[in-house]
Structure 1
Amino acid sequence: MMTEHSAPMTESCAPMTEPCTPTTELVEVEVGPVAHGGHCVARHDGRVIFVRHALPGERVLVRITDESHKRFWRGDVVEVLQASPDRVDPPCPVAGPGGCGGCDFQHVSAQGQRRLKAEVVREQLDHLAGIAWEPLVEAVEPLTGWRTRTRFAVDRPGDDEGGSQVPVVGMRAHRSHDLVSLPEQGCLIAAPGTPSPQQLEEVAAQGSSDEIRVVVPARGKPVTITTREQGAELVQELCGGHGYRVRADGFWQVHPRAAEILVGAAMEMLQPVAGESALDLYCGVGLFAGALADQGLDVMGVEQVDRAVRLARRNVPKARFISAPLAKALRKLPPAVDVIVLDPPRTGAGAQVVGHLAGLGARAIAYVACDPAALARDLRTFGEHGYRAEAIRAFDLFPMTHHVECVALLVKA
């Protein structure tokens, strides 16, 4: 996922999309399979319960946290009665039920995390696209200290009773506005160079923002963002010896190895040849366009965020770029093309875009996705237009969370 407007994030950073209805009810259940979204499926008296902090095959005691839906409830594990061999003690003291909503797989061994993610990708491809895929998520180090772009929430207590107004910095609990203070060690997955909790509190005390963003670029000092002006600062990122300028508040992959891995996978799949024509769609600041242009291809990129396009033109002067939503720019694309890199937002490209791209006759398409359900839906649509998935790779670019990144190769059937 390489668009500036759709950076993958942990759930602690995500907006609360549905209100929770907490209860005090406790139920004992046997945990079923993992599901898309970081939880496992259990049943109690015929009702589905989506359980966080559980593992398949475990017997657990669950506190129901949301019973507002008729078809299902949500719950958190409060006691493990029979543990899975993959269960480990979370390395962060604020992980787990009632804690930070971000690292939802800290209770799982590294191998277990990859198996769970592989099962989710396998199930989504099978269920939504009818594609049989041998489950394998490739390990990517490091498992901690990898997140180069982190958002911290800030709460500013009132002084109605004459108390201190010292702000508190932390992460939001899952599906909640409740703030969980950072542990003394700071965020476990934040990259080296991220300010300490004390330093973040000092930053918060100097401003009025309810959020602090920290960017640790490949080159240069970390950037702390609390204002629009700070977000406009340019940072330097690298991939394959190619430098990229990115706004501090713009999008770049959060794992320090992600850009190299995804570009490498896409280029290996496409086998680009100098002189061919190529499209880099949802191109952000031109990551894939740079790799394609460096190999001598004639490249056009499309991105809807104008400020990202302006940087892409500087980053990859050999390529041409269009600033527009892709669905509105389809008529501006060439009538035929040799290869395509497609890296849509979390919701996927959609039927209109897929149908048009399939008509361009590309010999190979590399589809990059951070959501396996969206990937599967679009692969199904490509299949309806004469393209098949010849290869699919998955990478553990978000360790300790349920997120996973995939790259698929599509060729004419």
Structure 2
Amino acid sequence: MTAKTSTPPATVQDAGHVGGEAVVDVGPVAHGGHCVARHEGRVIFVRHALPGEKVRVRLTDAEDKAKFWRADTVDVLEASPDRVEHFWRPADSLRSWQHSHPPVGGAEFGHIHLPRQRRLKAEVLAEQLRRLAGLELSTEVEAAGADADGGEAAHDGGAGLGWRTRASFSVTPGGKLGMHAHRSGHIVPVRDMPLATDAINALRLWDLDLQGVDRVEVAAPANGSRPLVLLAPAPETKPKRLAAIAAQLPGDVSVASFDPATGDVTQLKGRTWVQETAVGHEYRVTGAGFWQIHRDAPGTLVGAVTEFLQGGGFLHPGAVVADLYAGAGLFTAVLADAVGETGSVLSVEGSPGTSRDARKNLHGAPQVEIVQGRVERILRQKPRNFDALILDPPRAGAGKAVVNQLVAAGPRAIAYVSCDPASFARDVGYFRQSGWQLSGLRAFDIYPHTHHLETVALLTPAP
């Protein structure tokens, strides 16, 4: 892509103040969706740029005493050959700042050729493992749902679009659907969501009058079952107003109100849950309960986990295993199949609502014990001689205390599923300090056009 220079390359305009501008040479990619640049000795984390580019940036965080500043790219003076035109106007930093407002978050890599996105993510993973775990290791970032030859999933066509089965929106003061800019209270109206599936876009939520609502969550399962729209009401909003919004949606769409603080869900129309399908099982997921958002993620991740555990002889009929941070039971169901009725599966989830879903989803598997509570507490209460554990913690990772407890439990292997390379690398470092080793690693592009990636690792005691 040829850079379009709209202004002469001046050096500094009010640099040091939010809204000020500077011209910088862009350095390496860093964790968090930005690249590193420097200006007069100050580190600036720049979004919407590529390593090797020269760009003009607008400062978005620039306190005098801060260790670093943050900035958005507003003009490209020397473009990378991997720069492409952004596929989505509200997320395009160059276009947005031309209209004097920041871009929405959620597609911060949309200006980068998709193969280069994956190489950048691989660089971030390698850097985090080197810095936090003391490992010199690199791995390819694979497409989610890739075919046997490594090609893109059939629905994707190589564009990295149409994969989100779940989406979260804000609402403008005028009652229109919108999304927040990165690290900002500014809400940008949107009239499409190219990363979302056709089923989500077909709801045309941007045509609704959403006055009285602060947030909208929507789930449209990839199996084509009934979508669910969740409305988080603003303070003092009356039930009658929520009912009026629900009436604007088609009859085959479920609508519920929810409290983001407690997770409580109240039916407005239809049901308060969605029916997901993955790896030969049906899963009920209530409200905003956790489920992988990429349509191909469940099968991709389950495949990687079972390949590691079964290939190493850790998962077999009669095995004793556990699924920690189990959610609605995606991995639990597959573990139950693998160990059979002669084995046992301990499934642990902290969220009460999601744990109730797991009970419903696994009620026909007598070898499964569903327990709701904190992982560290449950492991103390129910010590077992585990053959293998699956560890799928939230973005913050497991942490040192849980890692030490897992090591003390003495399993033969742990399959660690992570959505954050920094917390994953930190935890791998804790395992290594306890005498364990990273015996296998795969990385997947579960979130195209964002900086996020998913890793699946096999951890075993060192010989």
TM-score of the aligned structures, taking structure 2 as reference length: 0.79
Counterpart amino acid of 2:176? V
- Alignment of 1:170 onto 2:213: no
Counterpart amino acid of 2:273? L
Task: Quickly say closer, same or farther: Cα 1:303–1:44, change in 2 above 3 A.
Answer: same
Conservation of the 8 A alpha-carbon contact between 1:22 and 1:67: yes
How far off its partner does 1:197 sit? 7.8
1:11 counterpart residue number: none
| Aligned match for 2:194, one of 182, 188, 192 | 188
1:12 counterpart residue number: none
- Alignment of 1:54 onto 2:62: no
2:226 counterpart residue number: 221
1:141-290 to 2 correspondence within 5 Å? 141=153, 142=156, 143-157=160-174, 167-183=175-191, 186-195=192-201, 198-202=204-208, 204-205=210-211, 208-217=212-221, 218-226=223-231, 227-228=257-258, 229-230=266-267, 233-271=272-310, 272-290=315-333
Conservation of the 8 A alpha-carbon contact between 1:204 and 1:212: no
Conservation of the 8 A alpha-carbon contact between 1:31 and 1:42: yes
Q: Distance in 2 between matches of 1:22 and 1:192?
A: 42
Q: Distance in 2 between matches of 1:332 and 1:84?
A: 55
Q: Distance in 1 between matches of 2:267 and 2:72?
A: 38
Q: Distance in 2 between matches of 1:154 and 1:62?
A: 28
- Alignment of 1:314 onto 2:357: no
Of 126-135 and 222-231, more deviation after overlay is shown by: 222-231
How far off its partner does 1:70 sit? 2.3
| 1:359 aligned counterpart, secondary structure | helix
Percent identical across equivalent pairs? 46
Conservation of the 8 A alpha-carbon contact between 2:172 and 2:188: no
Counterpart amino acid of 2:358? A
Deviations 1:222-279 (A, max 9, x none): 1111113149712111111111111132110000110111111000001111100001
Q: Distance in 2 between matches of 1:24 and 1:385?
A: 48
- The structure with the larger Rg is 2
Q: Distance in 2 between matches of 1:96 and 1:230?
A: 37
Deviations 1:139-168 (A, max 9, x none): 2343111111111111233xxxxxxxxx22
| Aligned match for 1:332, one of 357, 376, 381 | 381
Counterpart amino acid of 1:39? H
How far off its partner does 1:298 sit? 1.1
Counterpart amino acid of 2:120? L
Deviations 1:116-148 (A, max 9, x none): 111110000010001122231002343111111
Conservation of the 8 A alpha-carbon contact between 2:226 and 2:275: no
Counterpart amino acid of 1:314? K
Which consecutive residues of structure 2, in runs of 5 or more, have no partner in the other structure? 1-15, 94-101, 145-152, 232-256, 259-265
How far off its partner does 1:367 sit? 0.2
1:128 counterpart residue number: 132
Counterpart amino acid of 2:344? D
Which consecutive residues of structure 1, in runs of 5 or more, have no partner in the other structure? 1-20, 158-166
2:398 counterpart residue number: 349
| Aligned match for 2:119, one of 107, 115, 120 | 115
How far off its partner does 1:23 sit? 2.3
Counterpart amino acid of 1:287? L
Q: Distance in 2 between matches of 1:336 and 1:236?
A: 34
Task: Quickly say closer, same or farther: Cα 1:230–1:133, change in 2 above 3 A.
Answer: farther
Alpha carbon RMSD of aligned pairs, Å? 1.7
Q: Distance in 1 between matches of 2:427 and 2:382?
A: 20
Task: Quickly say closer, same or farther: Cα 1:325–1:82, change in 2 above 3 A.
Answer: same
Of 364-373 and 319-328, more deviation after overlay is shown by: 319-328
1:65 counterpart residue number: 60
Task: Quickly say closer, same or farther: Cα 1:22–1:181, change in 2 above 3 A.
Answer: farther
Conservation of the 8 A alpha-carbon contact between 1:224 and 1:230: no
Conservation of the 8 A alpha-carbon contact between 2:328 and 2:358: yes
Q: Distance in 2 between matches of 1:230 and 1:122?
A: 46
Conservation of the 8 A alpha-carbon contact between 1:53 and 1:107: yes
Conservation of the 8 A alpha-carbon contact between 1:230 and 1:248: no
Counterpart amino acid of 2:126? R
Of 148-157 and 256-265, more deviation after overlay is shown by: 148-157
Counterpart amino acid of 1:40? C
1:93 counterpart residue number: 89
Conservation of the 8 A alpha-carbon contact between 1:64 and 1:73: yes
Q: Distance in 1 between matches of 2:325 and 2:204?
A: 38
| 2:213 aligned counterpart, secondary structure | coil
Query: Which structure has more RCO (C-alpha within 8 Å, separation ≥ 6)?
Result: 1
How far off its partner does 1:50 sit? 0.3
Conservation of the 8 A alpha-carbon contact between 2:442 and 2:455: yes
